[in-house]
Homo-oligomer: A and B are copies of this chain.
Amino acid sequence: MLKPRDSVRTLPTYRPPLGGREGLRLDFNENTVGCSPRVLERLRRLDFEQLARYPEREPLEAEIAGFLGITAPEVLLTNGVDEAIHLLCETYLEPAHEALVVVPTFSMYRIYAAATGAKVLAVPAKEDFLFPTEELLQHITPRTRLIAVANPNNPTGAVAAPGDLLRIAREASHAALLVDEAYFEFYGKTLAGAWRDLPNVFIARTLSKAYGLAGLRVGVLAGDPEQMRAVRRVSSPYNVNAVALACLPEAFADRDYVQRYVNEVRAGRELLQRAYADAGIKYWPSQANFVLARIGSSDFIHLMRERGILVRDRSSDYGCQGCVRITLGTQAHTDRLLGALQETLETLGLAQGASQS
């Protein structure tokens, strides 16, 4: 009788609520209008030949390294950041090891770390989801091999100061520190290049958020060339598809397009946070393209959906009881969001500053 490994048998299934997503998509932190037109033009010029060939990742890694101001041996393109996390866990973790995550955070760190059989220790964020540097340091042991930090964090929007992350990397030099910078474009601070002093630091970037290309599946894992050589060994040479590889340079090259989008998101973030403050709703200041708020009602999600707006219930995340995460998009989408929010808060009797915290 064939049995999966114990660590797989006990693994939680991550099943995001993708079904029936009709409406304004403010539920998955995607770009609400999509990629640069240059990307779609490139995609439409693809021909039989490019689809028939196995994709060739390496030339693109050199090109993307240029965009990021680092070198090709420091870069591995991945099938979304999910694969970057998967490969790092597989490269460094085994059952005798420990992985540290700060909760609440993105679920895949825990899933891929636990799949290896390593013990996953969840360090709770401090009050108001602030980054628990001291608590994280206290949990480092000789068995620690991976520390995964989303910065900005999802679903809270909170950030860890670069200095704190570097301190952790220094104290845990025997462990990989993954700084997942999926929301970098909305924040602006990076640890790119930190591996030149601290070779256990890795960063991840994605084309799924600011760039509007979640469908293409492109992540970037970057780190010390020697460490990256090991990570490459567990990666398929064909992990990133040809369409993504062809479109990638267009996406990176059209900086203006992304910058304009990011500016609209940032402005919308301020407006949404002000709306929450005015209504006396507890929210957490965000450096990403979303804001988490304790609206205290599952009716809220239902009423927003009736107004054509999809938002994400985060109630089951650690410390997030009654919390909803709303993605920001273009200015027009923010206008629509704020109108629907106002109506919904009124319907729920929350519009007059009744605190739900």
Contact = CB atoms under 8 A, between A and B. Distances in A.
A53 interface: yes
B56 A19 contact: yes
Contacts of A95: 94
A236 B51 contact: no
A2 interface: yes
A63 to B, nearest CB: 15
A160 B117 CA distance: 35
Contacts of A217: 55, 79, 238-242
A227 interface: yes
A62 to B, nearest CB: 12
B14 A237 contact: yes
A281 B12 CA distance: 55
Interface string A1-27: 111110011011111101101000100
A174 B16 CA distance: 32
A162 to B, nearest CB: 19
A34 interface: yes
Contacts of A117: 94
A39 interface: yes
A231 B230 CA distance: 25
A344 interface: no
Interface in A64-95: 79-80, 82-83, 86, 90-95
Interface stretch (A41-49, A269-277, A301-309): A41-49
A176 B244 CA distance: 33
A98 to B, nearest CB: 14
A233 B53 contact: no
B233 A13 contact: yes
Nearest to A28: B54
Contacts of A216: 51, 241-243
The copy count of this chain in the complex is 2
Describe A's contact surface by its main secondary structure: loop
A199 B50 contact: no
A82 B43 contact: no
Nearest to A213: B51
Interface in A264-301: none
Contacts of A43: 43-44, 46, 51, 243
A133 interface: no
A248 interface: no
A154 B257 CA distance: 46
A30 to B, nearest CB: 5
Interface in A145-189: 145, 173-176
26 contacts: A2-B173, A2-B200, A2-B227, A4-B230, A5-B92, A5-B94, A8-B230, A8-B233, A12-B233, A18-B58, A25-B53, A33-B48, A34-B51, A35-B52, A40-B47, A43-B46, A54-B208, A54-B215, A80-B239, A82-B236, A83-B236, A112-B234, A215-B243, A217-B240, A241-B243, A243-B243
Interface of A: 1-5, 8-9, 11-16, 18-19, 21, 25, 28, 30-35, 39-40, 43-44, 46-56, 58, 79-80, 82-83, 86, 90-95, 108, 111-112, 115, 117, 145, 173-176, 199-200, 208, 212-217, 227, 230-234, 236-244
Counting from the closest, the 10 A-B pairs by CB-CB distance are A34-B48, A215-B242, A82-B236, A4-B230, A34-B52, A2-B200, A217-B241, A11-B233, A51-B215, A52-B212
